[in-house]
Amino acid sequence: MKNLNSIFAAYLIGWGVFFVFFVSIARRSSDLRAQVERLKRSGPKEK
């Protein structure tokens, strides 16, 4: 197959973009969940 490197580059970079995007969602989500827990814990103490 000619241009095999280009084909693999296109697929791998494309999948890489989606993977990085998914990881960024997962990281932001886990940071926010930790923040929710922190805020819930700090709530009753201040009452």
User: Contact positions toward other proteins, by CB under 8 A?
Assistant: 1-4, 6-7, 9-11, 13-15, 17-18, 21-22, 25-26, 28-29, 32-33, 35-36, 39-40, 42-43, 46-47
Could you tell me the two tokens for 37? 């827990």
The minimum distance between CB 1 and other proteins, in angstroms, equals: 4
Task: Look at the block and give the residue holding tokens 């990881």.
Answer: 23
Query: Rounded to whole angstroms, how far apart are CA atoms 33 and 41?
Result: 12
Query: Rounded to whole angstroms, how far apart are CA atoms 13 and 16?
Result: 5
The minimum distance between CB 41 and other proteins, in angstroms, equals: 11
Could you tell me the two tokens for 21? 């995007």
The minimum distance between CB 15 and other proteins, in angstroms, equals: 7
